[in-house]
Amino acid sequence: MLNKPRGLVTTARDERGRKTVYDCLEGAQVPFISPVGRLDQASEGLLLFTNDTVWSAGITDDNRSIRKTYHVHVDVRPDDSLCASLMQGVDSDVGPLAAHKASVLRVGIKNGWIEIELCEGRNRHIRRLLAAHGINTLRLVRIAIGDLFLGSLAKGAFRFLEESEVSSLRTQP
């Protein structure tokens, strides 16, 4: 697992010369591994890597509904009504978008943080969902995939998963 910093692209090589998530793995003695899913360049947080394509497909399979949890900084003062609306969802050009769960984490004077849980993930799902409500995403951090939490892993750092963590993700619904 890697704590992906903002600004890196989730690809092995970038045709535009941008830094990639593989820069964080430089010097590590690992076989070739691929990201499990994606985080866009502006997003940060928990990103898994593997060379087990069956395990990877199981985690990204929308039919299994493994939840992904995000902390999202927004440019409005979120409330319970907004969270209910995010769970109700919207129709978009890529199909319906909705949060499985949404709750207010904290509210400031002009903005706040929401915890959003998805059981499926479309390209820029959260950003599109919020934009449909007229809300800008200031920061988006994936903090968990299933029962696996990012915890205190430093930005740009990685660690190997314990076998129990690998097995847990394999068996989660």
Q: List, for residues 41-96, the tens digit of each pLDDT value.
A: 999 999 999 999 999 988 888 777 899 999 999 999 999 999 999 999 999 888 89
The end-to-end CA distance of the chain, in Å, is 20
Q: Which CATH code for domain 68-144?
A: 3.30.2350.10
Pick the catalytic residue: 23, 40, 52, 79?
A: 40
Q: Are 169 and 59 in contact (CB under 8 A)?
A: yes
Q: With 70 as the cut, is the pLDDT of residue 29 above it? A: yes
Residues of the chain with CATH 3.30.70.580: 2-63+146-171
Tell me the two tokens of residue 150.
Answer: 């990012």
Across the range 145-169, mean pLDDT stands at 95
Q: With 90 as the cut, is the pLDDT of residue 172 above it? A: no
Q: Tell me which of 3.90.79.10, 3.30.420.40, 3.40.50.2000, 3.30.70.580 is the CATH number of domain 2-63+146-171.
A: 3.30.70.580
pLDDT single digits (tens) 106-152:
999 999 999 999 988 778 999 999 999 999 999 999 999 999 999 99
Gyration radius of the chain's alpha carbons:
16
**Has 147 been annotated as catalytic?**
no
pLDDT of 173 reads 67
Residues of the chain with CATH 3.30.2350.10: 68-144
Task: Enumerate residues 6+ apart whose C-beta is below 8 A from 104.
Answer: 78, 79, 80, 82, 83, 112, 113, 114, 115
pLDDT single digits (tens) 10-26:
998 889 999 999 999 98
pLDDT of 122 reads 79
